[in-house]
Amino acid sequence: MQNLTKCSNRHYFIPYKIINLSSKHDIVFKYGIDTIFNLRYINANGNIKLKRLPILERHHVLNKAHTKYGMIQSALQDYFNNQCKLLKFGSYRNFSTSSSHNKEEDNNKSSKNNDSDPVKYIILSFLKIGAVVAFLYFIGKHILFTSTESTANISWREFVQEMLAKGEVEEIVVFPSTNMVKIHLYPGAIIKGQKLLFHSYTMHIPNIDQIEEKLRKEEKKLGIKQENGISVIYNRNSERMIYILRLLSLILLLYTIFSKTSVITNFKPFISKLKSANFTLVEPSMKHGKGVRFEDVAGLKEAKIEVMEFVDYLKQPERYQILGAKVPKGALLLGPPGCGKTLLAKAVATEANVPFLSMNGSEFIEVLGGLGAARVRDLFKEGKKRAPSIIYIDEIDAIGRKRSESSINTNDESERTLNQLLVEMDGMISKENIIVLASTNRAEVLDKALLRPGRFDRHILIDLPTLAERKQIFEYHLKKIALQEDASKYSHYLSYLTPGFTGADIANVCNEAALYAARQKKKIVEGSDLMYAIDRTIGGTKKITSTVTPSMKRVIAYHEAGHALVGWLLKYTDALLKVTIVPRTNLSLGFAQYTESDHKLQSKEELHEKMCMMLGGRAAENLIFNQITTGAQNDLEKVTKLAYLQIQQYGMCPTLGLLSFDEESTSQRTKKPYSKQLGNLMDAEARRLIAEAYEKAQQIIVDNRDKLEKIAEALLEKETLSYDDVEKLIGPPPHGKKNLIELAEFVISNQTDESHTVNPTAT
């Protein structure tokens, strides 16, 4: 126990925690043990150091109290429970005898005691809230009806017949806010022959605004003159009080809740967390482990050269500064999905010897307004702290869309985010040594202000890989799986079989081959597994439980034979690789595969013959079965699109002349930049082109019906035919092998193995 100071005619203080009273009110105790003395507890609101009990006696009394501490403590507690009462503050002499360490212990103990019984705490909080709501309710009710007189409710009919008609009504008080009317009667009024128990009545009126008009009509019916009408008083003071009560109740309710919880203390950090940019940081010290490097990005030679300049500038800035060169402020990676834009950004993050801050465009936009712009500011603020640095925004079209010129289709939150991004990239405050990289596959929707030099100085196109790039990508991914032979023996042929494949598609083909080999319990991946993976990517897996009937299978065989025959006999079509009628899971009942070229330019004759080949299946069905099916739906869609491209964009229609309209201007969502008459002419020309292609395809089928039947019957027997199989059936193509590639050894061996195991299909 701490030493206590003796002062004559002054109070003595002992620490509050010794007595350990549970009350926190201002109280006075009077208790006698040998010598009666007074205890007073001073509330800490007066002084933070006043958690002590002043004792109004001399020093020897305190010594005696100290020796009998246990008895005093229990006695005081009992007395407190029975005889505590409030006391006004007096004048006290305050002095502290406890250390700050003891204060911290007291605070910790009190916080632990408060948290020790959470159920009790929650119940008490709800009881307090309920008490506040009940108090406000009764106060509001009292204010609305301030009269101390008792009232009863009546209907409008009773009011008219029993009160108004008998002249017992003195006045009517209308409360518009509650749709209630208070009826005051004359003293001594008698209703239904009885003396009234109430001097006033209340009545509910749905259309309170028409109460006076309704009352005057009833008075007119009863013959009451206008000058003798009942006075109507509108009491609008209650409306103001209702608004005030609602406001006060809301304030009290929020205060009651927030004062008992940690919402106030945690609200500001919560808002700050929402405004902060949730970016991924790659520090230079974290790049020593595994990561994507430029040598891991197969193909994309031109794109890598441009992006590597940024990395080289950050590593050796003196080399460029001597020549007065400035690094571009930003680069935009454009191209179809799956071509390697994000992969190239990952390589930059690994190779660059500076901090790399990455964030997705969709992460800027939230439900709450203003967060997008705040997160853009925070992202560039963090980038500036770590300068020189690189900021990468993936899928920037989420925040970089064109700003709308009309107020109908505008998106204020998206536009505020875009405006903040424009300011941060090239505003009044220059951001030195910060390079911005971004990627998107929808460059056509980006705002022009975002694309200009000074923001994104370079637009790097990452297009579909060429034949040479597909070969490099195949070799890179094939090295990661256990192959039967070297990867170079597969990559050349596989690259020819996959025109239009992206890097992601090629990676998926290699992975599917490994999965299929594992499913077949093989120890290595063979060429047949790779061919299976390509077929699966193009058409899906084989449908084992097929519901194709023999008659339907025959129609499919002639349909696919028509495609193969027309393409075989024309000059500008691609070389046939194989044709199959095996049902696939992507709803295709058969397909023909060709070796498409990477040529960017196509003549009118080439497009016309492609349309003929697409319509060969419908022509064969019509000739052999004298009826058509829905199997040509996909062919007709492609033919229609190709016909309109020739007319609307390529300027290949002599009737319309050299006109070109992009796809957006000819869509249904925008106003067309041509007249209705010109649109009708386009439709007529498209029908003409399709009709000419169909007539030519039909003529080829009629002239070579015997060859058509040979191919169809072979398909019914084997289900899949290769180029060599078709050549044995109908002879070599009249215009040469075109762009045919020789079959790889692994494909030839695979076909030889299958020829010994394939069972003929009964028709």
CATH label of the domain that carries residue 375: 3.40.50.300
* Residues contacting residue 127 through CB under 8 Å, at least 6 positions apart: none
User: d(Cα 21, Cα 51) in Å, to the nearest integer?
Assistant: 11
Enumerate helices (H) and strands (E) in the chain, giving the number of each: 27, 20
pLDDT averaged over every residue in the chain: 76
Tell me, what's the pLDDT at 504? 92
How open is the CA angle 250-255-259, to the nearest 5 degrees?
160
pLDDT higher at 7 or 623:
623
**pLDDT tens by residue, 612-655:** 999 999 999 999 999 999 888 999 999 999 999 999 999 998 88
Tell me, what's the pLDDT at 280? 75
Given a cut of 50, whether residue 675 has pLDDT beyond it is: yes
Given a cut of 70, whether residue 72 has pLDDT beyond it is: no
Tell me, what's the pLDDT at 289? 56
Cβ 16 vs Cβ 2: under 8 Å: no
The CATH number linked to 490 is 1.10.8.60
Tell me, what's the pLDDT at 617? 93
User: d(Cα 725, Cα 736) in Å, to the nearest integer?
Assistant: 16
Q: Are residues 235 and 163 in the same domain?
A: yes
- Going by DSSP bridges, is the β-strand pair 389-394/434-440 parallel, antiparallel, or unpaired? parallel
- Going by DSSP bridges, is the β-strand pair 458-461/434-440 parallel, antiparallel, or unpaired? unpaired
Q: What is the dihedral of CA 376, 382, 384, 389, to 10 degrees?
A: -100
Q: Are residues 373 and 520 in the same domain?
A: no
Structural domain of 523:
479-539
Q: Which residue among 493, 515, 539 closes a domain?
A: 539
Task: List b or e across 663-679, with b for residues whose CB sees 16 or more CB atoms inside 10 angstroms.
Answer: eeebeeeeeeeeeeeee
Q: Are residues 278 and 426 in the same domain?
A: yes
DSSP state of 326: -
Tell me, what's the pLDDT at 181? 85
Q: Radius of gyration (Cα) for the chain, nearest Å?
A: 45
Given a cut of 50, whether residue 658 has pLDDT beyond it is: yes
Given a cut of 80, whether residue 133 has pLDDT beyond it is: no
Query: Average pLDDT for residues 284-298, to the nearest whole number?
Result: 74
Long-range contact pairs involving 520-523 (C-beta distance under 8 Å, separation at least 24) = 523/482
Three-state DSSP state, 662: coil
Tell me, what's the pLDDT at 139? 59
Q: Are residues 359 and 451 in the same domain?
A: yes
Query: Average pLDDT for residues 142-168, to the nearest whole number?
Result: 70
Nearest to 403 by CA among 392, 411, 395: 411
* Residues contacting residue 749 through CB under 8 Å, at least 6 positions apart: 527
The CATH number linked to 579 is 1.20.58.760
Instruction: Classify residue 91: in a domain, yes or no.
Output: no
Q: Are residues 192 and 340 in the same domain?
A: no
pTM of the shown model: 0.61
Is 444 one of the catalytic residues? no
Q: Are residues 553 and 455 in the same domain?
A: no
User: d(Cα 566, Cα 578) in Å, to the nearest integer?
Assistant: 14
Tell me, what's the pLDDT at 162? 81
Please count the structural domains in the chain: 4
Q: Which of 395-409, 463-477, 481-495, 653-667 has the lowest mean pLDDT?
A: 395-409
Nearest to 234 by CA among 170, 173, 169, 144: 173
Two tokens, residue 97:
């005898």
**pLDDT tens by residue, 326-348:** 888 889 999 999 898 999 988 88
**pLDDT tens by residue, 580-615:** 898 887 767 888 888 877 677 889 999 999 999 999
Query: Average pLDDT for residues 429-433, to the nearest whole number?
Result: 66
Two tokens, residue 702:
């009629």
Given a cut of 50, whether residue 729 has pLDDT beyond it is: yes
The number of beta carbons lying within 10 Å of the beta carbon of residue 642 is 19
Cβ 310 vs Cβ 331: under 8 Å: yes
Given a cut of 90, whether residue 489 has pLDDT beyond it is: no
Instruction: Classify residue 82: in a domain, yes or no.
Output: no
Two tokens, residue 646:
């020739």
Q: Are residues 291 and 367 in the same domain?
A: yes
Q: Are residues 663 and 720 in the same domain?
A: yes
pLDDT higher at 446 or 432:
446
Given a cut of 80, whether residue 31 has pLDDT beyond it is: no
- With residues binned 3-state (H G I as helix, E B as strand, rest as coil), the percentages for the chain, rounded to 5, are 50, 15, 35
Tell me, what's the pLDDT at 535? 86
Return the top range by mean pLDDT from 199-208, 245-254, 638-647. Answer: 638-647
**pLDDT tens by residue, 303-314:** 888 888 888 888
Instruction: Classify residue 347: in a domain, yes or no.
Output: yes
User: d(Cα 7, Cα 269) in Å, to the nearest integer?
Assistant: 50
Q: Are residues 376 and 429 in the same domain?
A: yes
User: d(Cα 654, Cα 662) in Å, to the nearest integer?
Assistant: 19
Three-state DSSP state, 646: helix
Instruction: Classify residue 94: in a domain, yes or no.
Output: no
Tell me, what's the pLDDT at 84? 44
Q: Are residues 345 and 318 in the same domain?
A: yes
Given a cut of 80, whether residue 134 has pLDDT beyond it is: no
Given a cut of 60, whether residue 262 has pLDDT beyond it is: no
Two tokens, residue 559:
């349909």
Instruction: Classify residue 65: in a domain, yes or no.
Output: no
- Going by DSSP bridges, is the β-strand pair 190-191/330-334 parallel, antiparallel, or unpaired? unpaired
Tell me, what's the pLDDT at 467? 87
| pLDDT confidence tier of residue 243, bands split at 50, 70 and 90 | low
| pLDDT confidence tier of residue 474, bands split at 50, 70 and 90 | very high
Q: Are residues 437 and 503 in the same domain?
A: no
Return the top range by mean pLDDT from 176-180, 258-262, 551-555. Answer: 551-555
Return the top range by mean pLDDT from 49-63, 213-227, 352-366, 461-475. Answer: 461-475
Given a cut of 60, whether residue 83 has pLDDT beyond it is: no
Two tokens, residue 720:
């899949």
Instruction: Classify residue 379: in a domain, yes or no.
Output: yes
Q: Which residue among 539, 573, 591 closes a domain?
A: 539
Q: Which residue among 539, 559, 574 closes a domain?
A: 539
Q: Are residues 574 and 693 in the same domain?
A: yes
**pLDDT tens by residue, 503-545:** 999 999 999 999 999 999 999 999 889 989 998 888 888 877 7
* Residues contacting residue 170 through CB under 8 Å, at least 6 positions apart: 184, 185, 186, 230
With a pLDDT cut of 90, the percent of the chain lying above it is 21
Torsions phi, psi of 36, nearest 5? -80, 135
**pLDDT tens by residue, 94-131:** 333 334 444 444 444 444 444 445 556 666 666 766 77
User: d(Cα 723, Cα 700) in Å, to the nearest integer?
Assistant: 20
The CATH number linked to 189 is 3.40.1690.20
Instruction: Classify residue 756: in a domain, yes or no.
Output: no
Return the top range by mean pLDDT from 261-275, 359-373, 606-620, 730-744. Answer: 606-620
Strand partners, 35: 33
Query: Average pLDDT for residues 433-443, to the nearest whole number?
Result: 89
Tell me, what's the pLDDT at 697? 95
Tell me the torsion sign for CA atoms 53, 55, 59, 60: negative
Torsions phi, psi of 665, nearest 5? -75, -20
Q: Which of 363, 395, 560, 621 is catalytic?
A: 560
Cis bond before residue 673 (omega within 30° of 0): no
User: d(Cα 330, Cα 456) in Å, to the nearest integer?
Assistant: 4
Instruction: Classify residue 15: in a domain, yes or no.
Output: no
Tell me the torsion sign for CA atoms 585, 586, 592, 595: negative
